[in-house]
Amino acid sequence: MELQECKARAGPREFGPHDDLPREYREAATRMIQFHANSEIMGAYLERPFIRQSPSLDRKLAFSAKVQDEIGHGQLLYRAAESLGVKTREEMLDELANGEGKFLNCFHYPMTEWWETPMIAFFVDGAAMRRQATIKRTSWEPYAHAMDKICFEEGFHIKHGEHIMRELATGSRREQQLLQEAFEEWWPRILQFFGPTDDESTHHDFAAEVGLKTMSNDELRQAFLNAYLPKATEYGLEIPDEPRIREEDGRYVVEEDDLDWEEFWAVANNDYAGSHEQIDARASAHDAVAWVRATISGETA
Amino acid sequence: MIWEVFRQDEPGGYHTHCGNVHAPDREMALLFAEIQHARRKPTNSLWVVPQKEIASQTDETDRFGGTTDKTYRWVSAYNVDVEFAKEIEDSDREQRSVAGDSA
């Protein structure tokens, strides 16, 4: 298929493994889905310590179920990416281990304290789900199918995240204060979740033209803020003065210059101190269970 | 030789199992599947799979999802607002319909 025909036909769930798609499409879709799959895996590793650190049995069960879900989402997505015929799952996992694989900005930062967990489990997962709901209409059908299952499961993750946040927000004054501090630290990263403004986004135009993406970063950030900013306020969180957010005609406008884009691009290139820490931690966890993989493949060979 | 047949109604949908056919080879299996299962029902695509290639298990020998209480995996365990975000409402509704709200 020529690129021109691909663009003309682009629509929700339009293309599948039986279509002869142009190289440009398959590479762009691989890049997007691999990024998404990597992010599921890195997010799971970030939350894994909280299976141990959970303050109650209920939370421990929920966190272990959630981490299991996220690893499963990564596997589904690597399959969806693999079906494009550009890279194998093995290659993508290797790239994640050797620091070439890119993943979501928020997962490059360490999360060590319990009161930080709602920042990922409510805000970041909420932002991710907002984006994922739009990907149900992506043009690569296996990707859309993965989204059906992911969105089905994700509701529990975000409700659980909000449940923890409510517990802290209605807890002791110390808990409320720690929650506020965590929020102030994470808020700029959460605002950067959707990346830079449209004119600086490298891959959006093409991805939109071939139907891989259905909404721009700006539209998604707007939709996220409309839903989640009032939520933060509802739980008594004070929105930090910076980055400045203005309300204009019922829209929230983020003052982009107040955000640290140098840090964002360092993160995007896996060049931030936290990036190395997270990638290496995941790589050593992966190495530690190499014997399991060897045993499994030995048995089936 | 028996072939299991999977039919997809519309582009982008799932292939769901709809029955099986006798056929000596792949080509004939597709032809019979088409005649048997795609003649009236709206069909966008068909798959045929040799029955002996399918592995299966049932709830007679396995308790799917285990036997312990797993309510913590379900949206219904967390009493917080879902109405602020449509995609969470959707997930909530889908999970409740699968669980029959009993989870």
Out of A156, A230, A231, whose CB is closest to B75? A156
Cβ contact, residue pair A227, B84, below 8 Å = yes
Question: A-chain residues within 8 Å CB-CB of B14?
Answer: 145
Mutate to test the interface with B, among A60, A156, A162, A231 (most CBs of B within 10 A): A156
- The pLDDT assigned to A69 comes to 95
User: Could you give the 3-state DSSP secondary structure of residue B22?
Assistant: strand
> Distance of CA A216 to CAs A32, A196, A208, B36, Å?
14, 10, 8, 45
Same domain, B13 and B49: yes
Q: Does B99 touch chain A (CB under 8 A)?
A: no
Same domain, B41 and B72: no
> Distance of CA A59 to CAs A54, A165, A167, A177, B61, Å?
6, 12, 12, 21, 31
Same domain, B11 and B47: yes
Same domain, B45 and B18: yes
- The pLDDT assigned to A300 comes to 53
User: Could you give the 3-state DSSP secondary structure of residue B5?
Assistant: strand
- Is the complex ipTM more than 0.90? no
Q: Does B47 touch chain A (CB under 8 A)?
A: no
Which tokens in the block code for residue A266?
A: 């360092």
- The pLDDT assigned to B66 comes to 83
Q: Prior bond to A243 cis, omega within 30?
A: yes
Question: Is A168:A115 a contact under the CB 8 Å cutoff?
Answer: yes
- Tell me the pLDDT tens digit for each residue of B29-52: 999 999 988 988 899 999 999 999
- The pLDDT assigned to B99 comes to 78
Same domain, B48 and B7: yes
Distance CA A84, CA A149 (A): 20
Q: What residues contact residue A37 under an 8 Å CB cut-off, 6+ apart?
A: A73, A74, A77, A78, A80, A81, A92
> Which pLDDT tens digits describe chain A residue by residue (301 residues)?
999 999 999 999 999 998 999 999 999 999 999 999 999 999 999 999 999 999 999 999 999 999 999 999 999 999 999 999 999 999 999 999 999 999 999 999 999 999 999 999 999 999 999 999 999 999 999 999 999 999 999 999 999 999 999 999 999 999 999 999 999 999 999 999 998 876 655 666 899 999 999 998 888 999 999 999 999 999 999 999 999 999 888 788 889 899 999 999 999 999 999 999 999 999 999 899 989 988 888 865 4
Distance CA A96, CA A110 (A): 17
Same domain, B79 and B101: yes
For residue A63, list its beta bridge partners: none
Q: Where are the beta strands (DSSP E) in chain A?
A: 245-248, 251-254
One-letter amino acid of B8: Q
Phi and psi angles of residue B4, each rounded to the nearest 5 degrees, phi first? -85, 140
Distance CA A151, CA A211 (A): 19
Same domain, B10 and B49: yes
Q: Does A14 touch chain B (CB under 8 A)?
A: yes
CATH architecture of A3-300: Up-down Bundle (1.20)
Same domain, B48 and B10: yes
Tell me whether residue B60 is in a domain. Answer: no
Distance CA A169, CA A238 (A): 12
Question: Is A70:A43 a contact under the CB 8 Å cutoff?
Answer: yes
Distance CA A44, CA A69 (A): 9
Q: If you count DSSP H runs as helices and E runs as strands, how many of each does chain A have, helices first?
A: 14, 2
Out of A13, A163, A227, whose CB is closest to B85? A227
Question: B-chain residues within 8 Å CB-CB of A61?
Answer: 72
Which tokens in the block code for residue A282?
A: 């995941």
- The pLDDT assigned to B102 comes to 47
Same domain, B71 and B49: no
Tell me whether residue B25 is in a domain. Answer: yes
Q: Does A153 touch chain B (CB under 8 A)?
A: yes
Tell me whether residue B59 is in a domain. Answer: no
Tell me whether residue B21 is in a domain. Answer: yes
Q: What residues contact residue A217 under an 8 Å CB cut-off, 6+ apart?
A: A194, A195, A196, A197, A198, A201, A204
Give residue B16's domain range: 2-53
Same domain, B45 and B72: no
Place of tokens 């929700």: A12
Distance CA A58, CA B77 (A): 10
Distance CA A83, CA A80 (A): 5
Domain total of chain B: 2
* CA triple A15-A17-A20, angle to 5 deg: 75
